[in-house]
Amino acid sequence: QALPVLHSVKKDPTLSIIVVGASGDLAKKKIFPALFALFYEDFLTENFTIFGYARTKLSDEELRNMISATLTCRVDQRENCADKMDQFLQRCFYHSGQYNSEDDFSKLDCKLKEKEAGRLPNRLFYLSIPPNIFVDVVRCVSHRASSESGWTRVIVEKPFGRDSDSSRELTRSFKQYLTEEQIFRIDHYLGKELVENLSVLRFSNLVFEPLWSRNYIRNVQLIFSEDFGTEGRGGYFDNYGIIRDIMQNHLLQILALFAMETPVSLDAEDIRNEKVKVLRSMRPLQLQDVVVGQYKGHSNGGKSYQGYTDDPTVPKNSLTPTFAAAALFIDNARWDGVPFLMKAGKALHTKRAEIRVQFRHVPGNLYKRIIGSDSDKATNELVLRVQPDEAIFLKINNKVPGLGMRLDRSDLNLFYSARYRGEIPDAYERLLLDAIEGERRLFIRSDELDAAWALFTPLLKALEEKKVAPELYPYGSRGPVGAHYLAAKHNVRWGDISGEYS
Amino acid sequence: QALPVLHSVKKDPTLSIIVVGASGDLAKKKIFPALFALFYEDFLTENFTIFGYARTKLSDEELRNMISATLTCRVDQRENCADKMDQFLQRCFYHSGQYNSEDDFSKLDCKLKEKEAGRLPNRLFYLSIPPNIFVDVVRCVSHRASSESGWTRVIVEKPFGRDSDSSRELTRSFKQYLTEEQIFRIDHYLGKELVENLSVLRFSNLVFEPLWSRNYIRNVQLIFSEDFGTEGRGGYFDNYGIIRDIMQNHLLQILALFAMETPVSLDAEDIRNEKVKVLRSMRPLQLQDVVVGQYKGHSNGGKSYQGYTDDPTVPKNSLTPTFAAAALFIDNARWDGVPFLMKAGKALHTKRAEIRVQFRHVPGNLYKRIIGSDSDKATNELVLRVQPDEAIFLKINNKVPGLGMRLDRSDLNLFYSARYRGEIPDAYERLLLDAIEGERRLFIRSDELDAAWALFTPLLKALEEKKVAPELYPYGSRGPVGAHYLAAKHNVRWGDISGEYS
Amino acid sequence: QALPVLHSVKKDPTLSIIVVGASGDLAKKKIFPALFALFYEDFLTENFTIFGYARTKLSDEELRNMISATLTCRVDQRENCADKMDQFLQRCFYHSGQYNSEDDFSKLDCKLKEKEAGRLPNRLFYLSIPPNIFVDVVRCVSHRASSESGWTRVIVEKPFGRDSDSSRELTRSFKQYLTEEQIFRIDHYLGKELVENLSVLRFSNLVFEPLWSRNYIRNVQLIFSEDFGTEGRGGYFDNYGIIRDIMQNHLLQILALFAMETPVSLDAEDIRNEKVKVLRSMRPLQLQDVVVGQYKGHSNGGKSYQGYTDDPTVPKNSLTPTFAAAALFIDNARWDGVPFLMKAGKALHTKRAEIRVQFRHVPGNLYKRIIGSDSDKATNELVLRVQPDEAIFLKINNKVPGLGMRLDRSDLNLFYSARYRGEIPDAYERLLLDAIEGERRLFIRSDELDAAWALFTPLLKALEEKKVAPELYPYGSRGPVGAHYLAAKHNVRWGDISGEYS
Amino acid sequence: QALPVLHSVKKDPTLSIIVVGASGDLAKKKIFPALFALFYEDFLTENFTIFGYARTKLSDEELRNMISATLTCRVDQRENCADKMDQFLQRCFYHSGQYNSEDDFSKLDCKLKEKEAGRLPNRLFYLSIPPNIFVDVVRCVSHRASSESGWTRVIVEKPFGRDSDSSRELTRSFKQYLTEEQIFRIDHYLGKELVENLSVLRFSNLVFEPLWSRNYIRNVQLIFSEDFGTEGRGGYFDNYGIIRDIMQNHLLQILALFAMETPVSLDAEDIRNEKVKVLRSMRPLQLQDVVVGQYKGHSNGGKSYQGYTDDPTVPKNSLTPTFAAAALFIDNARWDGVPFLMKAGKALHTKRAEIRVQFRHVPGNLYKRIIGSDSDKATNELVLRVQPDEAIFLKINNKVPGLGMRLDRSDLNLFYSARYRGEIPDAYERLLLDAIEGERRLFIRSDELDAAWALFTPLLKALEEKKVAPELYPYGSRGPVGAHYLAAKHNVRWGDISGEYS
């Protein structure tokens, strides 16, 4: 039997990862494959065990079959893949139980202890379950399945409430059972390669920092688009809408990383401190800062696509936005007056996530004659394409080779796929590894979450109270035209929708 | 007969281009091909005539044969090339004469008038001859072969003297016969695509100007290397040496364009005013600012290469440098304390011309642990590769994709050949066209030349008076090791010789 | 009897200020006069009571006599001063007790409740006592004399430990009885007018912020000098020394305010967050970064002054520094490489506290001929004189009026006494008022204190372990000459000791 | 007899100063007193002679009497003043002649030669005469009274033409007789102490240069006001008007010095090159950029003041502006978008000439709550007061001493009279001395003059062709209210008319 050892680490710790909600989609598609990838790349400790937990009754073998259906190997090391899979699956076990039953968690605890075999036990619970049962599980874990001498950490997935009040209430409940250090709120966008790279680019390169302010940046655009709709699975989405689903978390998190001041170190708390500062410097959104849209059915090339409210899982009269564009402002010395435009939508013409930084025009008029009257057309632009095909572009004016003086915009570019061989790891791999290692940098702290909701809650309330009707746009289109008017109001031109831009 | 019309242009002007020294190498290899290219691309006026002038007796037909041997067509429009060549050659004529005979030039004048046929005559003389006969030709042209009613311009090739005194004397002589506006001193490096682009990059892109100063730039390197020696044609070179041949003109001109302040307009005089200002802000070079070298024989892979003094056209005891590295400083507010390092050499391991801008390291130590102790190793660098394969790179620190935090230096890059189809015109095409159009931007004004000699003359005198022996380096090597010590003295590391750099 | 009302304020609150250690020097000279000044200026709530607490047996009347001996009125409103004094003294009471007796504090509690008379009771304890009894008092206060429904705050004076360990232990003890919000660690230097103004100058004026970095600032000097020694009262001092007494708190606090990043708001926590960040970015001091001194006896003008070890309260062989100079560095992006020099000493030639900011020299050499070779002599300097005679100077180069071009350094200046009428309030007034109002901006948070000790502890340990002998300097002199060598090592010239400087 | 010695200086040169138009007002009030001051301060060479030249017949003695009536001594050295005056007057002579008579100038030449007595003769002609006879005098001087072996220089006073055409014609005429180096166009405003100091402040102080651009400066105001009208001497003025009289020269010259780029050296040609560059970067003025006014009669305190057209020397229906305000823009990288406002007027409430630099507001809103909603009200301002009472102010926000946080604007200031003892020399002294020493920095070159007229000529033509009626304003008032609307259009508030400003 393990003796409780406070504040120390045994030579030979064990790691138990408990996927609560193991039979769900996310678990199958993302969590188990990510765990396998970590195992495959030798990032897991020798003594690790994976437990699936759910209400469904399954044998260990059934779980293993389910998992193995989605496992694939890293492109670059296929040789011993089958062996590795086998080894991995042998570490996977299943425990069936109710989500609110302390007894069931006690039984789980017994099984865990058995695997831990007296070594220092560390336990990571991944809550892949609906938010209404978050607190029950956390209570059970805390009371019955916590590690006695090692650490216990809990990963939770969004949604973290629907607004300031519900989010604060959820946090309050968590804190009854967990300390801040134990809570790992995951935003998988923060695990994307280029988002990780954002701080590296800014802070390890001298050439970017001097440009990173209102003096040189005219606007920043955060763009997320999907080329498919809810497709018969709109139940959850309709309850939240695109603003809660994408903007308030993914895009806002990226904005905070983009705009924050230099942290005092790369430690999680220092970075999160700076993120909170940026969020607190922002103005809460008003109705006039936003345009909302909803896709309607559309036929194209003989194929027809259903509108949002045609989805049987969506109420016929739903006003839930599937598209939103918003203008945000940061009232601090660095960003005063620079519009940060966000745009997120489903069922658009393209699948893409990117950050576009548009620089100001060159003062003076040396090249005005050559460039033409619209000086904003020929400005520099930095594009960080998060997906697909990670890349960085810096658009610059360049002389077209040849006699005469003709300028055009060329790209200084870096394509990840051309530069770096090998597959880029999935966001979940990075985040799971971070949680295992106690690296909290990419997880959202309670005060961050609070500050984020503070920005969006007044807007969400207003949209819902006033029953604001979204502007309809055809499935597969470039979204509602209102987004252009919103941009124009702030003297911005969307960088992603333009003949001239790539 | 044409009436003299001052300061006006007839509807139907003619253009006569007289290549003085038509039988020389430069004429054959560069001037006639460039003229043909301009014709091919329709940049020449309809009524143009080309005259070769030299002492050799040749018929028009013999000249045409000589010219046609080196003509090629633009890669992208081969179709009608043969026709075009024929048309071009029909415009080429030859006149044989002495370089100091006013009578012979009078006869040329008659022939020119015949071709001009009463239309407004413009005449461009290209002096492709040794410097000792420059003044004779200029006198003859001025007295006997000037256009009476159109313009007369004279292109001269370097060398423009050997030092301040001889250069000033040459200028004085020119000015007896020509005005400043008529003199076109050619430096063909200024016709290179990337050199032309230098001002465009700096002044039409917001992102470069804020970085373009001592606050961010640690040093600038101007590098020119050839991978061959004098190869039996060292007579002229031995009289001048690499400093006069490359540094004092090509590299110094590029430096001036790189470092100058924003001109008030893109007009030639405004740009040349700014170039003169930079040159005047520089400290004249001293012996201790320079390292000189000379290549010696070397055998490699069974092949053996002759040393410089093995060249039969070179005196056995010659001390003429075939390599030089120099550190220059600009004592103005923008560049105070930033070393500008030049390096030029023959018989080196590679053929290359480039500008390398090394930025300072990021202040603070956020990434110091990750980057390691030598913070200067991981700095940004901007490379403008003039030849071969024109390109622009910006070296940045980037996160290596994958789990964990590892940085490397990647390039944001722009390869001309990938971005722009079609052949990049030769420098001579651009410069000839500019001279025809009266665009003086890329030609060197008398006061510029004077300022350039003022920087190098004390050094050249000291080298020659003290008979400074050059450091020997093997043919095909990376040059004398002294160049590294010179760089180190100023806390610089050459960017082109390094495993890590491209 | 007052009902406990959590988190609310009754219409009519009372304020009790308990000066623990009421018979001490500080209480007499600073605390009671400051309280009277606040009363005189109508800053105290109507229902306030002041209690002296100490071991000495005194009647209320005896306390009042003691207090009244040091009370003076504000210069500008003498009229009704005597009446005001009487009113004030009527609110002053005395309670005698042991510092570690919970019973005695229970009795105090009774008396307080009597005065509070059922209104909302707020209580401020001012601990004007030696540090070895801090914890006893805090325990007694917490257990027996806390306000039940209002707030209870405790002001503590330095020393807050002698090093990292003792300080952390003290904090830990406090936190057994008090929350962070209840602890008000006072550093009376932070109450000085010009220290308060420091943030205003930096953040409300556009003209300072662009200059506030390594790009423009060459060094920063924080200077504190007293023109008297321990004068028979060296007991306490000898135990701490000048580094603990002045540098680690007063000067370091000013440095942090000077150098911190822009806070997200002016709220206490935001400002203290930024101060902690600066402290954490600093390198801990090493022996070689410091020069220590000790004054020796000196006769001057017939008068003779005792040396430090001549003081009968000081051990004969004491090595305690009465003077120290130190060079500190902040390794962040703003301040990388800028030396922050501190100097503090007793028995020097002058009494002064000031911040001197020396700017870099102008790059380029436009005025070099006129200014002379030592370009650092003619640089701009910003002086914030904290005492005596508060003032701000900006030293600029100016043309001396008259024919010819001669430059000198003149001051753009602002003398507080000339600009602002009326007495400037004592630091204690401001800080007491802030504590009453719950404004924590100027008080030192536990993590700040920790970070401050982390910088000085290794140095203090090294000084003491190696028994480093201080350099002796004569009483009334400019301090040990070693301070100049320390400065010179970092390419700095002390701004306060120079014929040319004011 | 002196031998002509080209380009060399004899050991013992003489200086002859010929004041052409010696009986005029300017000569009496400014030129002779300035010459005396230079003599008094020992700035004149030992062998100097002063000649008055005019049509009036006067004896030497009569001239001396006339001169002596206006001579005064420098405040600080009264002792030997009478002696000095006597010595000075003994060097003064008179020659009567016609302004267009070469014979009369030949006679002057004889007298000059007599005084020069074979030493190296340098001659300075000061043309204190109406512009219509400039060219006659220059011709006579050039043909008959030039120094044969020393230098000959000619100082001319404005007006230099009325517009581009007449100015260019005048320059052309001058250049028939004089080289550019001989022409000294005087603008006595450039001789003012603070105008001289402008470059010193900008270029010898690190703290100003970083602020000196569109990034930090919101607008610049150049203000000139007189508190008296034409007062019976309006003949000349009515022909020119305030724009030509003050703006196109005095204020525009100051603007150019204020706004120019750093010159490559302090040499005259380098500074004038930069001034020309600024002028060429400016947009020519349009009608809508200007407000014009004319003062009307006004009674105040029992005293009545005549309006402009009440002046008997002014036509009754004159539309000549006695007041103008204008908005100018410099389209270069430094100043793009920054309004430069000029204001000049007669018969205003105050006499003053100053430059006011208004800085932008601090970005972010840290102090917004304290400062209030109009953030532009609390911005920094730099005031350079040229007259009266030379001074420099930097207005900064400062905490008002005392408890609580209240800000106000205080001045960091430098009053010349407090800092520098002794009288500040008159502008004419400096300029005369410069002309004698061949220092051309403060004189206006032909291309500068040309560029200046290019800016104002279209406006002047439009005003005159469209007979734009000036807005009337009362004598002694603050000028026409239209000036406020002009300022408001460019988001500017005049700094000199405001309760809050000094």
ipTM of the complex as predicted: 0.90
Say how many CB pairs under 8 Å bridge A and B: 168
Q: Which of C23, C19, C11 is nearest to C35 (CA)?
A: C19
- The average pLDDT across D343-347 equals 97
Q: Do C280 and A273 touch (CB under 8 A)?
A: no
Radius of gyration in angstroms for the set of CA atoms belonging to chain A, rounded to a whole number: 24
- For chain D, which domains are there? 14-157 (3.40.50.720), 190-489 (3.30.360.10)
- Pick from A210, A413, A420: CB nearest B211: A210
Asked whether the predicted pLDDT for residue A219 surpasses 60, the reply is: yes
Q: Do A364 and D337 touch (CB under 8 A)?
A: no
Asked if the peptide bond before residue D401 counts as cis, ω within 30 degrees of 0, the response is no
Categorize the per-residue pLDDT at B77 as very low, low, confident or very high, splitting at 50, 70 and 90: low
- Pick from C334, C337, C365: CB nearest B331: C365
Closest-CA distance, C271 to chain B, in angstroms, reads 21
For residue B203, the chain A residues in CB contact (below 8 A) are 362, 366-367
- The average pLDDT across A290-318 equals 94
- Interface probe for D, chosen from C366, C393, C424 (most Cβ of D below 10 Å), is C366
For residues B488 and C475, what is the distance between their CA atoms, to the nearest angstrom? 49
> What angle, 0 to 180 degrees and rounded to 10, lies between the N-to-C axes of helices B446-465 and B164-177?
150
Asked whether the predicted pLDDT for residue A10 surpasses 60, the reply is: no
- Pick from C397, C400, C413: CB nearest D204: C397
Q: Which residue of B has its CA nearest to D279?
A: B264
A366 interfacial to chain D (CB closer than 8 Å): yes
- The average pLDDT across B175-188 equals 94
- The average pLDDT across B399-411 equals 84
Q: What share of chain A is helix, strand, coil (3-state, %, to 5)?
A: 40, 20, 40
Asked whether the predicted pLDDT for residue A484 surpasses 50, the reply is: yes
Distance of CA C326 to the CA centre of its chain: 18
Looking at chain C, the whole-number percentage of residues with pLDDT higher than 70 is 95
- The average pLDDT across B216-236 equals 94
Categorize the per-residue pLDDT at A348 as very low, low, confident or very high, splitting at 50, 70 and 90: very high
Q: Which residue of A has its CA nearest to B417?
A: A401
Categorize the per-residue pLDDT at D7 as very low, low, confident or very high, splitting at 50, 70 and 90: very low
Q: Which residue of D has its CA nearest to A278?
A: D364
For residue C375, the chain B residues in CB contact (below 8 A) are none
DSSP string, C135-156: HHHHHHHHHHS--SSS-EEEEE
Task: Name the average pLDDT for chain B.
Answer: 91
Asked whether the predicted pLDDT for residue D1 surpasses 50, the reply is: no
Categorize the per-residue pLDDT at D496 as very low, low, confident or very high, splitting at 50, 70 and 90: confident
For residues A412 and B205, what is the distance between their CA atoms, to the nearest angstrom? 12
Which residues make beta-bridge pairs with D282?
D330
A451 interfacial to chain B (CB closer than 8 Å): no
Residue D430, burial from CB neighbour count under 10 angstroms (0-12, 13-18, 19+): buried
**Residue range A413-432, pLDDT digits in tens:** 888 888 887 777 888 999 99
Name the more confident of C246 and A410.
C246
Q: Which two tokens stand for residue B5?
A: 């019309």
Categorize the per-residue pLDDT at D56 as very low, low, confident or very high, splitting at 50, 70 and 90: very high
Name the more confident of A391 and D417.
A391
Task: Name the average pLDDT for chain C.
Answer: 91
For residue C210, the chain D residues in CB contact (below 8 A) are 210-211, 216
Q: What is the pLDDT of residue B74?
A: 63
Q: What is the pLDDT of residue D76?
A: 53
In which residue are the tokens 């040349």 written?
A: B272
Beta strands in D319-374 (DSSP E): 323-328, 340-345, 352-359
Q: Do A412 and B407 touch (CB under 8 A)?
A: no
Question: CA angle at residue D28 from D23 to D29, to 5 degrees?
Answer: 145
For residue A334, the chain D residues in CB contact (below 8 A) are 363-364
- Pick from C331, C332, C363: CB nearest B333: C363
- The average pLDDT across A152-156 equals 96
Q: Do C333 and A262 touch (CB under 8 A)?
A: yes
**Residue range D374-399, pLDDT digits in tens:** 666 788 999 999 988 889 999 999 88
> What angle, 0 to 180 degrees and rounded to 10, lies between the N-to-C axes of helices D81-90 and D60-68?
150
Q: Do D363 and A332 touch (CB under 8 A)?
A: yes
For residue D283, the chain B residues in CB contact (below 8 A) are none
B410 interfacial to chain D (CB closer than 8 Å): no
Catalytic residue chosen out of the listed positions A7, A143, A188, A250: A250
Catalytic residue chosen out of the listed positions D188, D250, D361, D490: D250
Cα–Cα separations (whole angstroms), residue A257 to A180, A216, A480:
21, 18, 28
For residue D206, the chain C residues in CB contact (below 8 A) are 211, 216, 359-362, 379-380
Write out the H or E segment, with its range, that includes residue C252. helix C252-259
In which residue are the tokens 């300035």 written?
A: D34
Q: What is the pLDDT of residue C2?
A: 44
Q: Are C125 and C20 in contact (CB under 8 A)?
A: yes
C261 interfacial to chain A (CB closer than 8 Å): yes
D395 interfacial to chain C (CB closer than 8 Å): no
In this structure, of A369-373, B17-21, D404-408, the range with the lowest mean pLDDT score is: A369-373
Asked if the peptide bond before residue C321 counts as cis, ω within 30 degrees of 0, the response is no
List, in order, residues 6 or more apart from C210 with CB less than 8 Å away. C216, D210, D211, D216
In this structure, of A294-298, A396-400, A498-502, D420-424, the range with the lowest mean pLDDT score is: A498-502
For residue D332, the chain B residues in CB contact (below 8 A) are 262, 264
Q: What 3-state class would DSSP assign to C328?
A: strand
**Residue range D222-281, pLDDT digits in tens:** 999 999 999 888 988 999 999 999 999 999 999 999 999 999 999 999 999 999 999 999
Q: Are A486 and A291 in contact (CB under 8 A)?
A: yes
Q: What letter does residue A358 receive in the DSSP assignment?
A: E
